[in-house]
Amino acid sequence: MARIVMKFGGTSMAGIERIRSVAARVKREVDAGHQVAVVVSAMAGETDRLVGFCREASSRYDPREYDVVVSAGEQVTSGLLAIALQEIGVNARSWLGWQLPVRTSAAHASARIEAIDTAGLDAALASGEVAVVPGFQGVAAGGRVSTLGRGGSDTSAVAVAAAMKAERCDIYTDVDGVYTTDPRIVPRARKLARITYEEMLELASVGAKVLQTRSVGLAMKENVRIRVLSSFLDTEDQETGTLIVSEEELGTVERQLITGIAHDKNEAKITLQDVPDRPGSVAAIFAPLADAGINVDMIVQNVAHSTGSTDVTFTVPGGDLARSLDMLGNAAATIGYTKMIPDTRVAKISVVGVGMRSHAGVAATMFSTLGERGINIQAITTSEIKVSVLIEEDYTELAVRVLHTAYGLDAEDAA
């Protein structure tokens, strides 16, 4: 008998028939003798609908009341799933965030989980009861309902799994695992049986949409084994999906040079021309952006001009471009640049793999492969297990396909 957490996303909970299908999956685990906690998202589209109500009510809504409204979607699905489980003979009850409780920081709409009291949960599981927990929500100081930010249900599931010392956290989505790249772009992409926390964290941070970045980071910190599965495949095969584990558990035999390739079109490039080439100039650019919580990714500072100035290029999330331009425009006199050039037609392409630590030539292969296809690299950034480049958006799909082949990731038995 094992303790497991099963997490179901919005598409898995989209309507009563889907919820009944989820209940049947949960029952199979209960019948196998496992102690089960289920974490659920709101029905697909429901959170967007609730957010829209808040914005219609007031453009300056109170974040505390916003949390009360948007957390309601998960409350509905947790109650419905408990009812559906009871209907098929499974002892179940829902536990809202304040009932466990899931204690969070007071940063409403973007709270972080600080602790989960599992006394009641442990007792319920020991008695054979299935605990259904709404994801995304908790309780802040003073008893106010709080939410974790969009995509926070994955983080809730991992946190519950860590608190109850679960053997693993099964996250059911609309895909059947983690692939070497997006199968819609590369039909020969392969599903990965296993991947390390670090690789999944890098892939999630550079565009892979399978898991929320915060949830992977928490799983790595707490050593929670995650399995990604599809809730739309009618299978009881427990070896399906992708298992996300520590590098130590993965071992050396299964490691490969490159694990996956991700792309992200949600990037915007900003170039500031003729920035004075003196100490403090770069700080004057990035300090205001940091204070506003705008994440700057790639940074390129060109060789200084004979006039004593230089050009600085960097990227920000596409959704933050307008704010970034406003802030930099207001600081133009302090920074001293002569011209600001935004560009939204760019994309970031990243290759990720723990094998980079022990193999040379990964970046060279990337650069030569793109160069042979006439794809110009506008910026580069690296980490220990990742190389990312910025290219023109129109070349995104071509870049992903040729790199996938160049690193030997194509499935041999694909059509």
Q: With 50 as the cut, is the pLDDT of residue 414 above it? A: no
Mean pLDDT of 18-39: 96
Cβ pair 72, 151 in contact under 8 A? no
User: pLDDT by residue (tens digit) across 267-318?
Assistant: 999 999 999 988 888 999 999 899 888 999 899 988 777 788 999 999 999 9
> How would you classify residue 362: left for phi > 0, otherwise alpha for psi between -120 and 50, otherwise beta?
alpha
Q: With 70 as the cut, is the pLDDT of residue 235 above it? A: no
Mean pLDDT of 15-39: 96
The position carrying tokens 């302090």 is 334
Cβ pair 305, 273 in contact under 8 A? no
How much of the chain, in percent, has pLDDT values that exceed 90?
Answer: 77
Q: Please give the structure tokens belonging to residue 188.
A: 């020969």
Q: With 70 as the cut, is the pLDDT of residue 214 above it? A: yes
- Rounded CA gap, 169 and 148, in Å? 19
User: pLDDT by residue (tens digit) across 46-74?
Assistant: 999 999 999 999 988 999 999 999 999 99
User: Nearest to residue 149, comparing CAs of 160, 158, 163, 138?
Assistant: 138
Termini Cα distance of the chain: 41
Q: With 90 as the cut, is the pLDDT of residue 134 above it? A: yes
Average pLDDT over the chain reads 92
Q: Please give the structure tokens belonging to residue 178.
A: 């983690």
The pLDDT, as a whole number, for residue 257 is: 82
DSSP category for residue 379: E
Where does the pLDDT of residue 17 fall: very low under 50, low under 70, confident under 90, or very high at 90 and above?
very high
Bridge-based pairing of strands 168-173 and 3-8 is: parallel
The pLDDT, as a whole number, for residue 212 is: 83
User: Nearest to residue 120, comparing CAs of 37, 39, 42?
Assistant: 37
User: Nearest to residue 256, comparing CAs of 196, 189, 186, 184?
Assistant: 196
Mean pLDDT of 179-198: 92
Q: ∠193-195-265 over CA atoms, to 5°? A: 110
Mean pLDDT of 146-155: 91
The pLDDT, as a whole number, for residue 292 is: 84
Helical (H) or strand (E) element with 341: strand 339-352
At 79 the three-state DSSP class reads: helix
User: pLDDT by residue (tens digit) across 80-130?
Assistant: 999 999 999 999 999 999 999 999 999 999 999 999 999 999 999 999 999
Q: With 80 as the cut, is the pLDDT of residue 340 above it? A: yes
What is each CA distance from 35 to 32, 95, 380, in whole angstroms? 9, 16, 47
Where does the pLDDT of residue 232 fall: very low under 50, low under 70, confident under 90, or very high at 90 and above?
confident
Q: With 90 as the cut, is the pLDDT of residue 40 above it? A: yes
Cβ pair 231, 12 in contact under 8 A? yes
The pLDDT, as a whole number, for residue 415 is: 41
